[in-house]
């Protein structure tokens, strides 16, 4: 089978690339998706996303034991279905700061600065992606925003170029249901005769003729298959799968590849390095009522099915705000998030028996850096993921500052009126420094935003250049969150869609 372009992965960026490339009727595009079609009902019911964790639509990764987090392995869910992680995320549309994209412009060329990427946000938000207000937010979410105001923080509209306060979350939903990039970009494009989408097709390596990528080998139906590319191969597997596939294909650190018996086609030591992620510390509190505790009651299901209203439309992370750990910072370095739900243990532990909420800080600009490396040369082996959380002591100090702000908001009049005892960390009875330290090490987890493992840049050491071409080979690009040279102060879905839009233009421009 031949195509002009091969796209590997259908997530926040990959679905966009598949749509935009196949819009040119004179080219053929083949898309490989390792997971099944996005038919699971919990993909489409917003509040049900945690039901997808550890399922067939989840890559179901875990980190190496994290020394600074009590030696815990941190669960990393990643979407393995049409739409990728946009089919199992919390649907939060948070652009980030103009300053974040200006950082990209400094290291990867002015085409990536905010002045140049803002047009993509405008295009995306005016369709095909639907970005909407929440239909049925909980009253506790309004109380939390009131509490933030009582503590001196501004309540403002979301997604300005320089956020300075708190807001209710904008969500990628259409009439109360999830609207993934599969819904927005891929499914409309699948009607085109020049686009072929193959699900349950696990890419195992990129094929080369000399130093040019000419195809992809993949496993489908228990058999080895090959699709060949006349023009380019575009990897859109995300911050874990894209570097893994590069390394399996001989692009990576020569010595590390040799350890697994892989000959290096291109010695590129930074493949898999520069891993950054947002660490979140969600503290839990009992609440009096109006949480998502009863979201699965029959009445809520009827309300959702008939009216697309009620608790099941919730994205769980219903509000957030940006704050500074120190007054002298020009730009906030923390996000606080609020969930009117007992979203403890990432939603997959034993059900909490009563009303509760979760809220806490997110480290937006971690100094700690980790890596994704091969476990073996077997493409079906999960890679070694080591984010090295809090390995830089400054990160710990910033998160503790965020926990102190969280505690202050929890003790404000608006929150005192609706909150009860501390539910997480377990056994805590007061918001003491000891409790905050315990929370940091015992309940922190990823906010599901890994980036940077195929970073772009103008320097020779970067994995991809500013046009997203992989250095050292022809006909191969990466277009997903792995190319982000720095992590943004926001959520990675929005900038990943932008990367997909911009990558498509760069590819079609030749």
Residue 438 belongs to what H/E stretch?
Answer: helix 433-442
Compute the distance between CA of residue 279 and CA of residue 483 in angstroms, rounded to an integer. Answer: 20
Degrees, nearest 5: CA angle 247-249-253: 35
Distance (Å) of CA 225 to CA 7, 196, 346: 15, 15, 37
Q: Considering the candidates 44, 278, 355, 449, report the single residue annotated as catalytic.
A: 449
Spatial neighbors of 426 by CB under 8 A, at least 6 apart, are none
Please list the residues that pair with 446 across neighbouring strands.
279
Identify how many contiguous H helices and E strands the chain contains and give both numbers. 14, 24
Per the CB < 8 A criterion, the answer to whether 182 and 193 are in contact is: no
Q: Which residues of 465-491 are buried (b: 16+ CB within 10 A; e: fewer)?
A: bbbbbbbebebbbbbbbbbbbbbbbbb
Per the CB < 8 A criterion, the answer to whether 229 and 6 are in contact is: yes
Please list the residues that pair with 476 across neighbouring strands.
233
3-state secondary structure 12-74: CCHHHHHHHHHCCCCCCEEEECCCCCCCCHHHHCHHHHHHHCCCCCECCEECCCEHHHCCECC
Per the CB < 8 A criterion, the answer to whether 82 and 199 are in contact is: yes
Per the CB < 8 A criterion, the answer to whether 288 and 357 are in contact is: no
CB-count exposure of residue 202 (10 Å: 0-12, 13-18, 19+): middle
Compute the distance between CA of residue 264 and CA of residue 249 in angstroms, rounded to an integer. Answer: 8
What is the DSSP annotation of 187-246?
HHHTTSTTEEEESS-EEEEEEEETTEEEEEEEEETTEEEEEEEEEEEEE--HHHHHHHHH
- At residue 2, the 3 state secondary structure works out as strand
Compute the distance between CA of residue 33 and CA of residue 78 in angstroms, rounded to an integer. Answer: 13
Q: Is 449 a catalytic residue?
A: yes
Q: Which residues of 325-355 are buried (b: 16+ CB within 10 A; e: fewer)?
A: beeeeebbbbbbbbbbbbbbbbbeeeebeeb
Angle between helix axes 393-410 and 139-150 (nearest 10 degrees) is 110
Active-site positions read: 449
């Amino acid at each position: 089978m031949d195509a002009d372009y091969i796209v590997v992965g259908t997530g926040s960026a990959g679905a966009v690339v598949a749509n935009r490339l196949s819009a040119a009727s004179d080219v053929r595009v083949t898309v490989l998706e390792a997971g099944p079609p996005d038919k699971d009902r919990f993909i489409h019911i917003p509040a049900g996303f945690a039901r997808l964790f550890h399922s067939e639509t989840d890559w179901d990764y875990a980190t190496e034991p994290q020394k600074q987090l009590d030696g815990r392995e941190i669960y990393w869910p990643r979407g393995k279905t049409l739409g990728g992680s946009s089919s199992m995320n919390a649907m939060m549309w948070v652009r980030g700061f103009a300053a974040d994209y200006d950082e990209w412009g400094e290291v990867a060329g002015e085409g990536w600065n905010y002045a140049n990427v803002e047009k993509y946000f405008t295009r995306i938000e005016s369709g095909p992606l639907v970005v909407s207000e929440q239909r049925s937010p909980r009253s506790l979410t309004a109380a939390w925003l009131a509490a933030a105001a009582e503590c001196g923080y501004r309540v403002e509209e979301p997604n300005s170029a320089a956020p300075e306060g708190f807001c209710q979350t904008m969500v990628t939903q259409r009439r109360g249901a999830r609207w993934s990039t599969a819904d927005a970009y891929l499914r409309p494009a699948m009607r085109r005769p020049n686009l072929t989408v193959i699900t349950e097709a696990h890419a195992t390596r990129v094929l080369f003729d000399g130093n040019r990528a000419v195809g992809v080998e993949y496993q489908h139906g228990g058999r080895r298959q090959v699709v060949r590319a006349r023009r380019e191969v575009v990897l859109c597997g995300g911050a874990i799968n894209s570097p893994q596939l590069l390394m399996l294909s001989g692009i990576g650190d020569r010595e590390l590849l040799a350890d697994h018996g892989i000959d290096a086609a291109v010695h590129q030591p930074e493949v898999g390095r520069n891993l950054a992620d947002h660490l979140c510390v969600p503290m839990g509190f009992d609440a009096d009522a109006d949480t998502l505790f009863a979201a699965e009651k029959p009445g809520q299901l009827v309300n959702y099915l008939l009216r697309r209203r009620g608790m099941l439309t919730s994205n769980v992370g219903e509000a957030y705000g940006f704050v500074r750990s120190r007054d002298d910072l020009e730009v906030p370095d923390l996000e606080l998030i609020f969930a009117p739900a007992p979203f403890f243990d990432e939603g997959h532990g034993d059900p909490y028996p009563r009303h509760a909420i979760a809220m806490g800080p997110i480290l937006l600009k971690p100094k700690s850096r980790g890596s994704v490396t091969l476990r073996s040369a077997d493409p079906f082996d999960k890679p070694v993921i080591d984010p090295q959380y809090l390995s830089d002591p400054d990160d710990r100090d910033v998160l503790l500052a965020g926990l102190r702000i969280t505690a202050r908001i929890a003790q404000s009049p608006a929150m005192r009126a609706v909150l009860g005892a501390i539910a997480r960390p377990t056994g805590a009875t007061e918001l003491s420094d000891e409790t905050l330290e315990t929370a940091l090490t015992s309940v922190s987890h990823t906010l599901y935003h890994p980036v940077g493992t195929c970073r772009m840049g103008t320097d020779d050491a970067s994995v991809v250049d500013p046009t997203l071409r992989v250095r050292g080979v022809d006909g191969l690009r990466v277009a997903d969150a792995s190319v982000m040279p720095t992590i943004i102060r926001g959520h990675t879905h929005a900038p990943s869609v932008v990367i997909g839009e911009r990558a498509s233009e760069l590819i079609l421009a030749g």
